[in-house]
Amino acid sequence: METTLHRCSTPRHPLSASASRSAWVWCGGLAVAALLAGAVRVLPWVLDPDVPARAALPFARGVAELAIEAAVMVGWPIGWALAAQRFAERGEARAMMLLGESPAKTALAQWRIAWPLAGVLALASALGALDASAPGRMAQDLVSQARAACAAATTPRTYSVPFVDATWLCHPGSPPILYGSGPGALRSVAFSAKSATIAGDMRRIDLDDARFSSASMNANVHANHVVLHGMSPFTHASNVPPIERAIIAVLAAAIAAAAAVWACVTGRARGQLVAIAIAAAGPLAALGLMRALERAEAPAAWFLLTPIASAVFPAVLAMMKRGC
């Protein structure tokens, strides 16, 4: 006697295929636009002959992480909203409600197609938070990349290090020499060193084989190793752990996307412009709040308000548009 086992699987929701395609199209389009806008900031360094191309890569990486994070946070809800709006216009949403499926269940039924979007967003957000939590890591990367380019130079030349206010002096056959001015109160003091290590919070710099000179004090000092403490960094470190930021970003985008689907299925978002406005309200509010909390150096717990803002703003806008 033979027994055949058939795998049972839950059928895919009628909205899922179009919602997935629409979300990826919007995320991809917004990512391209954001990356092009970010390239405007990196392009001057790339075109500057005194800045090695490889030294611009760390900054370009940070710009790309922020661009992808913003693109997915905004594109995901908009893509789902427009698919749901077409779903409602064709009458399929009403048919599903007649079969007993509530608008909230329609929105929650899209969880299967949300995982890839959530994964991309979580990765971009976590990597961005990793760099933001230790801005000195990017500065150190800039110094290291410029030094590597200097060491490979075949003719005498100089390479500037963006943000660090220092220049590598390159001479074939000799170790690269970093030349610059001191930070903060030491701005009038010129220094040179064979290597530099910048702390993650940018409040400490280690210099090897360092020489200091000051015309105002008529002094010249040489030290094998110097540690400079208490500097004020050009930017502050974010106090949100990468995993927490990734979770918050994914929750904010997922809540906004579900709220947009609900608004379209219930008829509160009629027309593509209204659907886009409601879908974009949540992630834009979340991104704005995250940036404001970062600038204010707010405690990490305050960032939990971000998903709440992502839910409140589209809901309020949907209520205002009810019946329109």
d(CA 259, CA 279): 8
Give me the residue label for tokens 């530099």: 196
Q: What is the pLDDT of residue 32?
A: 93
d(CA 229, CA 207): 12
Q: What is the pLDDT of residue 237?
A: 55
The model's pTM = 0.71
- Cβ contact 158:49 at 8 Å: no
DSSP string, 257-319: HHHHHHHHHTTSS-SHHHHHHHHHHHHHHHHHHHHHHHHTT--GGGGGHHHHHHHHHHHHHHH
DSSP structural state of residue 155: S
The pLDDT tens digits of the residues spanning 110-168 come to: 999 999 999 999 999 888 877 665 556 777 777 887 888 888 888 888 887 766 677 88
| pLDDT confidence band for 175 (50 / 70 / 90) | confident
- Cβ contact 321:268 at 8 Å: yes
**Is pLDDT above 50 for 316?**
yes
259 closest CA partner among 317, 306, 305? 317
- Cβ contact 240:133 at 8 Å: yes
In this structure, what token pair is assigned to residue 159? 């390479």
- Cβ contact 80:19 at 8 Å: yes
Q: What is the pLDDT of residue 211?
A: 82
Q: If you average pLDDT over residues 283-288, what whole number do you get?
A: 90
**Is pLDDT above 80 for 74?**
yes
Q: What is the pLDDT of residue 146?
A: 80
d(CA 80, CA 78): 5
> Which residues neighbour 180 within 8 Å (Cβ) at sequence distance 6 or greater?
161, 164, 165, 166, 167, 190, 191
In this structure, what token pair is assigned to residue 99? 């079969």
| pLDDT confidence band for 2 (50 / 70 / 90) | very low
279 closest CA partner among 47, 60, 63, 84? 84
Q: What is the pLDDT of residue 229?
A: 65
The pLDDT tens digits of the residues spanning 40-68 come to: 777 766 666 666 666 667 677 778 888 99
**Is pLDDT above 60 for 8?**
no
**Is pLDDT above 80 for 294?**
no
State the average pLDDT for the chain.
Answer: 80
Task: Give the least confident one: 5-14, 53-62, 298-307, 312-321.
Answer: 5-14
Q: State the virtual CA torsion across 84, 273, 248, 258 in degrees, nearest 10.
A: -20
Q: State the virtual CA torsion across 47, 50, 55, 58 in degrees, nearest 10.
A: -50
| pLDDT confidence band for 323 (50 / 70 / 90) | very low
d(CA 86, CA 98): 18
Instruction: Look at 151 and 71; give whichever has higher pLDDT.
Output: 71
The pLDDT tens digits of the residues spanning 208-238 come to: 888 888 766 666 777 888 776 655 444 455 6
Task: Give the least confident one: 101-105, 106-110, 113-117, 165-169.
Answer: 165-169
Instruction: Look at 25 and 293; give whichever has higher pLDDT.
Output: 25
**Is pLDDT above 60 for 258?**
yes
| Angular region, 200: left φ>0, alpha ψ -120 to 50, beta rest | alpha
What CA–CA distances, in Å, run from 151 to 8, 154, 155, 158, 176?
Answer: 62, 9, 10, 11, 6
Q: If you average pLDDT over residues 307-320, what whole number do you get?
A: 82
Task: Give the least confident one: 14-28, 160-174, 179-193, 228-242.
Answer: 228-242
pLDDT above 70: percentage of residues in the chain = 79
Classify residue 220 by burial, with Cβ atoms within 10 Å: 0-12, 13-18, 19+.
exposed
| pLDDT confidence band for 201 (50 / 70 / 90) | low
